Each structure stands twice: as structure tokens, then as C-alpha cells.
Amino acid sequence: MKRLVSTLALILVTFISNAQSCPDENHPHVIDLGIGLKFSCCNLGASKPEDFGDYYAWGEIEEKAEYSFENYLYGSHDQSGSQTFTQIGDISATQYDAAYVKLGDSWRIPMEADVKMLYMECRFEDATYNDVSGIKFTGPNGNSIFLPFPGNKDSNTDNDYQGEKGEYWLSSQYGVKDANFLRVKTYRYIWVAYGDRYIGRSIRPVYIDRNGLHTCPDSNHPHAIDLGLPSGKKWACCNVGATDPIQYGEYFSWGETKQKDTYGYETYAYCHGKDGDYSATSWDFLGDDIGGTQYDAAYVNWGEGWRMPNLDDVKELINNCEYVPTDNNIKGLVFTGPNKQSIFLPSGYWAYLGKLADVTYNRQNHYSGYYWTSSQNMDYYYQLGFGYVGNVNLAFALEFNAVPYKYYVHEPIEYIDVCEYRNGGMNIRPIQNVTSSMEMAQDNATPASKGVFSIQGTKISDDTRCLPHLHPGIYIVNGKKYVIK
């Protein structure tokens, strides 16, 4: 019996020495588990690995005395008494991410894909650390982290299931009223669950590896990054709606300037039809290029200094830059220009015929990025004597598949000038708005002569923005002769 007790004591001492890899007591530390992902050594608000830390409602950044729907910042009752919720999407590395806000921009709340990697690539076991029960995860390199069982807080200050299970918030919504979290109970019960967003749960931060992601001089985003492109145009360091290059930003239907909860035919401002009834829809023509207009989300939200890139801008970026997938836990492509400066485009996926919250699952299970251009799908279909023959329901987008090198066999950019339905929600990466050097015709013509005509008098378009796409020749623009060389 004495020998058995000694053996158990030896096992306990061994676990304590290897439970985590903190070099000192100045927590939190970055623990590299050898899986391409680095976690904090302790919970947010904790001062050591076995502490429970603070509790947060999902999307809130302050701990509070009581957790209920009535005091949840992103929930309310409508006039009928039904609960309504603000749809936030994915909160990783945003103003809704308590880890990002509290610890700085080197940390974020975990995504669902992060914790799946944790329990799929690490060895895990029941453990007790300084008399606190939890789960120990050991990576392939031998480093470990310890997740205690802090339970959760619901409705009052009492802690439910403390010492029995752990519930750790993840970055993604689930449906309208819930969000995903990691539930750990024993080594046999570790899974991603979902529950009410207003309940207080713990957060175990993930380290943001920014190596090679951007070249911003400071944190005052957005910056105009000079990539050394032939045109001299500069690209923004981050997406519209983002305050950091690694953030996805907001999602816009083409021509709209605000993010919304649902994307479809019925919710699109410039489409007249019903969801699912493709044949009974009609589309408003906004122009062949909406850059720098009231339909440009970059121009409207960021001001005159910015605009959406057009198809030619995107082609210039691709043809003159090297682009490679990231090899860390932030999915996306790094574009490096001729002058060795870089920008990072995260893989934001897209919202199509569904709710904004639905993007979360696709974004965490795919490496695809979807970015609108300002170009309508005309494919330069201005032909003398034939007028406009394009599809006004489609617009050009940059789409890529940023699968890491060890997984992909094709070029990471699969589509350059692909067209998508305008009612879908995509990200937008602006470029600095440079005034065109093209001499435009004076707009003092009579209504009958407004527009672009061939020299033979055949009307080509009502919109003078078709001019950059016309063949060399002589045209009549708003009643005046115009030469394209």
C-alpha cells in the first residue's frame, strides 16, 4: 500500500511539472503545442493556469454581477414581447472579443476550427492541478495546457457546475440567439456545443501570429500600402468594416453600403423578386462601374480618399504580386508587391441566400476568400452599333482558395474574373482613390444628346464610365466629339 501511494505521488508530481510550459509567474504565456496554433497558459482574467478567470456573456467585454437576457447588451424584447438579438457574426479579433480588447491585438477568442484542432491533434486526459479538476491537452511537441472546470454563470452570481465541467466561449454564432462554446467534462466528453449568448462563460485566448501578415507602420488603420504596382495605386491594409488587417470586416451586397442580417433576392435593394424564384426577378442597372459613387461601400463608409477596386485593379494586383497562403492560424493570402511591401486578405467566405450568421460555419471550414470589385459583369461588352449586352444581375469578384502548401495542388487563386449574383454579401478591400487623368467631356448636353454614341450616331450607353472599355476611335459623348487613342 505504501508503495502504491508513493507511485501515485510520483505521478502527481510529474503532472504538475509538465501541466503547462510557463517559464515564470508572469501570466499569460504563449504555449506552442506544435499544432500550428498557440494558446494562452490560462483563462482570460486568471493569474495562473488553474484559476477560473472571468466570465463573459458572448460578445461582451466586461464581467458583471448577473447574467440574464434582461441585461444582455445584444438582446432585447420587441413590441410583441419576443426576444430579438443583434446579429454580430464572428467576433474573433473584433471589438466584441474580450480577449482581443483586454489583452491587446496579439490575442483573440478561439474559433471553432481552433478547438477542433486542439482535441484532434493533441492528447487529452483528465487531470487535477493544485486540487482543481480539469482537462490536460498535450501537443505533439510535449507542451501542455490545462483547462479547469469553471462551470458557467446563469441568472445570478451562483456558479453552476463549478468543478464539474468547463464551458469556453468560441467566436461564432449559432443561429440567431445562440453561440458556440467548447464543453469539457471528462476526457470522454469534449465537444463543441451551443447555448444562450447571455450566459457567463470562460474564455481561453489564442495567440495571434502576425508574422508576414501586413506591413502597417502603426495601429491607426486603415493605411494605404504602396506595393510598387505599375499604376502607382495603393491598396488598403484592411477590409471595409475592419479595424485590423486580420479582421474580415463587414459583408455587402453589390451596390449596397450597409451590412445586413440576411442576404437574398427579397432583401437586396436593387433586385425585384422572391427568394428561390430566379425567373421572376428584375435587376436595377447601377452602371458598369460603381467605384466612387453612392453605390460604393468603400467610398461611402471611408470617404473620398477610397473606392472599391475595379476588375483591372484586381488583375494588376494579381499579375504583379506574389501571393501565398498563410501558414499560421489566420487563413488568407499574403500579396507581396515588386517593392516587397505586402497586404493580407483574410479568407472571409461569403453570405449568399442566407443569414449573416451562416457565414461563420463556412468561414471556419473553408479557406476561400470572396471580394467584390466595382465592375458590373459587362465583360467589356460594349460593341459599336450593338449597345449593352451584359448581364445586370452579376458583378465581378476576386475569389481565391488559400489552402496551405501542404494541402493544395492548384494555384491558390482559382478565379480572377468570376461573376457572382449581386445580392450576395462579400467583403470589400478598398484602394486609394486616384483621380483619373482621362479628360472627360463636359456634361452640358441636352437630354436628347446625353450618353455615348458611335460616330455613326448609334447609342452605345447612357453611362460615360464605359469610356475606358471602348476601342480606340471617335465617339460623341454628351453632344461633344471625344477621341480615344
pLDDT tens digits, residue range 91-120?
988 899 999 999 998 899 998 888 888 888
| Judgement on whether residues 274 and 342 belong to the same structural domain of the protein | yes
119 three-class SS: helix
Residue 242 belongs to what domain range? 224-432
Name the residue type at position 387.
G
Closest-CA residue to 345 (of 317, 316, 311, 305) = 317
For residue 6, what pLDDT is reported?
Answer: 40
Q: Decide if 41 contacts 49 (C-beta within 8 A).
A: yes
Cis-peptide, bond into residue 222, ω within 30° of zero: yes
d(CA 199, CA 320): 49
| Judgement on whether residues 144 and 244 belong to the same structural domain of the protein | no
Give domain status of residue 212, yes or no.
Answer: no
For residue 103, what pLDDT is reported?
Answer: 95
257 vs 216, more confident: 257
For residue 349, what pLDDT is reported?
Answer: 80
For residue 353, what pLDDT is reported?
Answer: 74
| Judgement on whether residues 282 and 252 belong to the same structural domain of the protein | yes
pLDDT bracket for residue 14 (50, 70, 90): very low
pLDDT digits (tens, 9 = 90+) for 234-278: 999 999 999 889 888 999 999 999 999 889 888 999 988 766 665
Q: What is the mean pLDDT of the chain?
A: 81
pLDDT at 139 over 90: yes
| Judgement on whether residues 60 and 153 belong to the same structural domain of the protein | yes
Q: What is the mean pLDDT of residues 402-417?
A: 52
If you write DSSP's letter for every residue of 279-298 in order, what string do you get?
EEEEE----SB-TTSTT-HH
pLDDT at 67 over 80: yes
Domain count, the chain: 3
CA torsion sign for 406, 334, 374, 351 is positive
For residue 400, what pLDDT is reported?
Answer: 86
| Judgement on whether residues 410 and 471 belong to the same structural domain of the protein | no
For residue 87, what pLDDT is reported?
Answer: 83
| Judgement on whether residues 428 and 465 belong to the same structural domain of the protein | no
pLDDT digits (tens, 9 = 90+) for 302-333: 998 899 999 889 999 999 998 888 866 778 88
For residue 448, what pLDDT is reported?
Answer: 58
| Judgement on whether residues 202 and 90 belong to the same structural domain of the protein | yes
75 vs 411, more confident: 75
| Judgement on whether residues 101 and 229 belong to the same structural domain of the protein | no
Closest-CA residue to 260 (of 429, 426, 72, 58) = 426
Q: What percent of the chain has pLDDT over 90?
A: 41
d(CA 485, CA 474): 9
| Judgement on whether residues 40 and 167 belong to the same structural domain of the protein | yes
pLDDT bracket for residue 441 (50, 70, 90): very low
Lowest-confidence segment of 14-23, 207-216, 272-281 by average pLDDT:
14-23
